[in-house]
Chain A
């Protein structure tokens, strides 16, 4: 069974500082991994996706994530935080292949940016 754990329900960083949001997954088959962002009063939008190609995945708005199989992790980073990055971030996992059905989400991490 698949599962996703996001460490830290709330992360606060200063503007210009490194952003690191942690995600660990559990999957019995090679996973597809996703990061989604949710801005206030909106639905979720895809930031980036890992599908077994390159282990370092670049997404929109300067975010990237690295797939580490040995650590079962897929942490999200951004070198320099911007005020507009304040949002809730969700890590998600699904199985690859045509039979893929469920997409399991983590509990989310709220990112706050201090001026």
Chain B
């Protein structure tokens, strides 16, 4: 089954404790992206990746890191989490061709609370 898998589904942590949210897709998609969803703000892009070893900042990259060593995986790293990073996070991937983006496939989300 084609899917984007995020882990964990829920995470409670404390300020300053490094954490990683994993994302994996089994569709051989080139494009992967991380979003955070906050009430009234919709989805805001954190980082995206056009292909292996190619990553770029989205609209709200501060406090986050990503890596794309393999095509299927795109982990989101918070080196020193702060309470303002409490949010619902979504990973997504899509197939891209010469005409642009096909549809995004989303993971089920990770609810992060930073105390």
In the complex, the answer to whether A102 meets B43 with C-beta atoms within 8 Å is no
- A98 touches which of B45, B98, B104 (Cβ 8 Å): B98
Interface size class of chain B, counting residues whose CB lies under 8 Å from the partner chain: 20 to 34
In the complex, the answer to whether A43 meets B108 with C-beta atoms within 8 Å is yes
A106 to chain B, nearest CB (A): 5
Nearest-CB residue, chain A, relative to B45? A102
- A46 touches which of B40, B45, B96, B103 (Cβ 8 Å): B103
CA distance A43 to B109 in the complex (A): 6
A93 to chain B, nearest CB (A): 10
Known: A9-B40, A32-B101, A108-B42. A100 touches B106 (CB 8 A): no
In the complex, the answer to whether A104 meets B100 with C-beta atoms within 8 Å is no
B42 cross-chain contacts in A, Cβ below 8 A: 6, 90, 105-108
A106 cross-chain contacts in B, Cβ below 8 A: 42
CA distance A95 to B100 in the complex (A): 7
Q: Which of B41, B104, B107 has the most CB of A within 10 A?
A: B104
